[in-house]
């Protein structure tokens, strides 16, 4: 499943309830009002190699909602606790755009830009030229490469990302000395954190680690894959870490849809389908949904620190890790589950091991780390219904059928709809242009969409294309997400607590919940900084994760082109502390096959 210039606009009679507005990030209105091509230039310090951290570390926890920190931090003892207690904690951070998805969030964090600027509008979109859905990192000009002889399909790169990442700018502006290293279970996360001209970019595919031809295949990853392959976790069991009374939620999460071979409650065995005597597809799904995957990701990152001597060369290196397991667990069990609470306890230990290793190898105070998330998660509809909330499934296949039926009297091509992907409705060639010149047909389509249970509003692409000046947080959220040629012709706004559901009509739902909507449960995420140049404390101003990249740039003394993010100067020390020297010899500079 798994947004400018001050032109006037009309809402076309579509109404949005007060509850919708309350659920959108109002504190960000002042910030996003100025997020246009005329955004202010980011100010940075002069670029001196002696006045930079040796290593910049970006940690993204896929689907980690901001409220998880307050709910669960009292049980953390490792790295997450250290980031909260020793770092700068921005308690009011949120994405101001609509499509709160993995590819979009990672690209926003890495570039300092919103999707209307960086172009990664969703995990996938309808390619109007190819007439098919394409994933955000799909690249027909490259080939994916598997470690240990694995043969992943297709090719992935950052070629669709319209602006360079912070890490790329760091590399370009410091003479190429920066090594860019990025890991995740997901290709779209690892690639968008790193950018176009990265060195080591690795993800999980076909039962093992994988990369693609634009990036470097590293011997240390091959060695790690051989010594500790994911299949070595076959037969293990994910058991609860805490006593029964320490969990906040019931044993069985309402509305949960666990991976094949798992029950609704702990323990969760990693044995594939019932009766499987060896790793199968079900096992790898279970593994990705277990803390063992986060641990494996941490271990390969630690190997990278040692093998490449990251933070001990002549330039400032960049290490990114996106932890995907919280997302898989959240999709299966929802945010109000023991599994979410438990997987974060395990992740706390993994992040603690990473930070301790960096203290030893790079030196405490020699590196800066930021942690955030790419999006949050929708509460499981069945769970919300027990509270009396208006919640349910916005069934996209039914919505598509209603639009087709509404267009029958207007003698347009059949089918008229090419794809409905999340909030985006794409029409076949020329249909949308004809609708723009036929008010009756356009009104019929909009009324048909609004008749689908769970739909709150419908926006047209021509309403969003000029980035209208508006006080509507919902309209602004979709405008900040609009990128010509990639976004849909119509944009569907669900009601709060209604889940966008693409399950085919008559088929059972294969996941518990999802994300991708412009409400606080999907938009609000943690932002924490710690280390070189950071002033610890709690900060309560409204920010966005797009502020991470320009803040990194300020610490490294480089300049980013004007984008949507801002330097979080309030969390920067006025003078830098004396770092602790690590006992490591410098390493030679490594370059990817791009260079």
Under the banding of pLDDT at 50, 70 and 90, the label for residue 1 is very low
**pLDDT digit string, tens, across residues 426-439:** 999 999 999 999 99
Q: What is the pTM of this model?
A: 0.90
Other C-beta atoms lying within 10 Å of the C-beta of residue 8: 8
Mean pLDDT computed over every residue of the chain: 90
Alpha helices by DSSP H, 423-466: 431-436, 439-450, 461-464
Tokens matching residue 404 = 């087709």
Contact 22, 496 (CB under 8 A): no
Burial code (b: 16+ CB inside 10 Å, e: under 16) for 452-479 equals: bebbbbbbbbebbeebbebebbbbbbbb
Query: Which residue is associated with the tokens 């960000």?
Result: 28
**pLDDT digit string, tens, across residues 67-116:** 999 999 999 999 999 999 999 999 999 999 999 999 999 999 999 999 99
**pLDDT digit string, tens, across residues 12-41:** 333 333 334 434 443 333 333 333 333 333
Under the banding of pLDDT at 50, 70 and 90, the label for residue 454 is very high
pLDDT of 276:
74
Contact 176, 244 (CB under 8 A): no
Instruction: Compute the distance between CA of residue 561 and CA of residue 523 in angstroms, rounded to an integer.
Output: 25
**pLDDT digit string, tens, across residues 271-322:** 998 777 899 999 999 999 999 999 999 999 999 999 999 999 999 999 999 9
Under the banding of pLDDT at 50, 70 and 90, the label for residue 589 is very low
In this structure, what DSSP letter does residue 576 have?
Answer: P
pLDDT of 467:
80
Length of the chain: 595
Instruction: Compute the distance between CA of residue 324 and CA of residue 307 in angstroms, rounded to an integer.
Output: 24
pLDDT of 471:
82
Is the CA virtual torsion 177, 46, 190, 595 positive or negative? negative
**Range in 44-48, 114-118, 406-410 with the lowest mean pLDDT:** 44-48
What is the DSSP code string of 494-520? EPTTEEEE-PPTTSPPSSS----SSSH
Tokens matching residue 537 = 């404390």
In this structure, what DSSP letter does residue 413 have?
Answer: -
In this structure, what DSSP letter does residue 359 have?
Answer: I
Burial code (b: 16+ CB inside 10 Å, e: under 16) for 147-175 equals: beebebeebbbbbbbbbbbbbbbbbebbe
Stated as kind and residue range, the H or E segment containing 167 is helix 166-173
pLDDT of 244:
95
In this structure, what DSSP letter does residue 156 have?
Answer: B
Under the banding of pLDDT at 50, 70 and 90, the label for residue 463 is very high
Tokens matching residue 579 = 């770092």
**pLDDT digit string, tens, across residues 340-351:** 999 999 999 999
Instruction: Compute the distance between CA of residue 108 and CA of residue 95 in angstroms, rounded to an integer.
Output: 9
**Domains detected in the chain:** 18-33+393-510 (3.30.1360.150), 51-228+290-380+521-571 (3.40.720.10)
Instruction: Compute the distance between CA of residue 557 and CA of residue 267 in angstroms, rounded to an integer.
Output: 49
Query: Looking at the predicted structure, is the pLDDT value of residue 269 above 80?
Result: yes
Instruction: Compute the distance between CA of residue 339 and CA of residue 343 in angstroms, rounded to an integer.
Output: 6
**What are phi and psi for residue 90, nearest 5 degrees?**
-90, 110
Cα 531 from chain centroid (whole Å): 23
Instruction: Compute the distance between CA of residue 323 and CA of residue 300 in angstroms, rounded to an integer.
Output: 12
pLDDT of 450:
99
Other C-beta atoms lying within 10 Å of the C-beta of residue 236: 15
Other C-beta atoms lying within 10 Å of the C-beta of residue 234: 20
**pLDDT digit string, tens, across residues 544-579:** 999 999 999 999 999 999 999 999 999 999 865 444
Query: Looking at the predicted structure, is the pLDDT value of residue 221 above 90?
Result: yes
Query: Looking at the predicted structure, is the pLDDT value of residue 363 above 70?
Result: yes
């Amino acid at each position: 499943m798994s947004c400018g210039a001050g032109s006037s606009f009309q809402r076309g009679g579509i109404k949005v309830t007060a509850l919708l507005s309350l659920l959108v990030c109002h504190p960000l209105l002042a910030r996003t009002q100025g997020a246009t091509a005329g955004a202010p230039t980011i100010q940075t310090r002069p670029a001196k190699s002696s006045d930079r951290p040796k290593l910049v570390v970006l940690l993204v926890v896929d689907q980690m909602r901001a409220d998880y920190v307050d709910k669960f931090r009292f049980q953390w003892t490792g790295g997450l606790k250290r980031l909260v207690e020793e770092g700068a904690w921005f308690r009011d951070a949120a994405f101001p755009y609509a499509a709160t998805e993995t590819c979009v969030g990672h690209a926003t964090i890495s570039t300092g830009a919103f999707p209307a600027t960086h172009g990664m509008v969703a995990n996938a979109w309808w390619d109007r030229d190819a007439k098919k859905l394409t994933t955000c990192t799909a690249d027909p000009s490259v080939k994916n490469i598997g470690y240990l002889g694995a043969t992943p399909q297709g090719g992935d790169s950052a070629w669709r990302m319209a602006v360079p990442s912070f890490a790329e700018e760091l590399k370009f502006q410091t003479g190429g000395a920066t090594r860019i290293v990025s890991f995740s279970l997901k290709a779209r996360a690892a690639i968008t954190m790193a950018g176009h001209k990265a060195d080591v970019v690795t993800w999980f595919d076909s039962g093992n680690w994988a990369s693609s031809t634009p990036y470097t295949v590293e011997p240390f990853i091959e060695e790690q894959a051989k010594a500790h392959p994911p299949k070595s976790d076959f037969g293990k069991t994910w058991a609860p870490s805490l006593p029964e009374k320490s969990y906040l939620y019931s044993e069985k999460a309402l509305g949960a849809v666990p991976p094949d071979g798992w029950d609704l409650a702990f323990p969760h065995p990693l044995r594939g389908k019932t009766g499987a005597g060896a790793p199968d597809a079900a096992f790898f799904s279970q593994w990705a949904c277990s803390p063992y995957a986060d641990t494996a990701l941490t271990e390969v990152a630690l190997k990278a620190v040692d093998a490449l001597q990251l933070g001990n060369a002549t330039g400032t290196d960049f290490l990114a890790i996106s932890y995907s397991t919280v997302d898989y667990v959240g999709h299966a069990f929802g945010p109000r589950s023991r599994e979410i609470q438990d997987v974060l306890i395990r992740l706390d230990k993994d992040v603690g091991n990473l930070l301790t290793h960096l203290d030893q190898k790079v030196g405490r105070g020699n590196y800066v780390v930021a942690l955030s998330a790419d999006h949050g998660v929708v509460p499981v509809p069945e769970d919300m219904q027990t509270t009396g909330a208006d919640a349910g499934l916005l069934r996209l296949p039914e919505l598509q059928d209603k639009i087709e039926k509404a267009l029958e009297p207007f003698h347009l091509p059949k089918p008229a709809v090419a794809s409905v992907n999340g909030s985006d409705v794409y029409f076949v060639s020329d249909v949308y242009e004809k609708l723009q010149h036929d008010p009756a047909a356009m009104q019929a389509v909009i009324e048909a969409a609004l008749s689908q249970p769970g739909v709150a509003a419908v926006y047209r692409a021509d309403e969003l294309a000029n980035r209208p000046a508006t006080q509507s947080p919902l309209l602004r959220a979709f405008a900040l997400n609009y990128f010509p040629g990639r976004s849909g012709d119509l944009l569907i706004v669900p009601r709060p607590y209604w889940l966008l559901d693409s399950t085919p009509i008559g088929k059972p739902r294969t996941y518990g919940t999802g994300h991708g909507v412009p409400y606080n449960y999907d938009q609000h995420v943690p932002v924490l900084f710690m280390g070189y140049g950071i002033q610890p404390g709690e900060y309560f101003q409204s920010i966005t994760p797009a502020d991470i990249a320009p803040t990194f740039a300020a610490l490294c003394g480089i300049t980013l082109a004007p984008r949507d993010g801002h330097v979080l100067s309030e969390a920067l020390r006025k003078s830098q502390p004396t770092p602790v020297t690590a006992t490591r010899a410098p390493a030679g500079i490594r370059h990817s096959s791009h260079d």
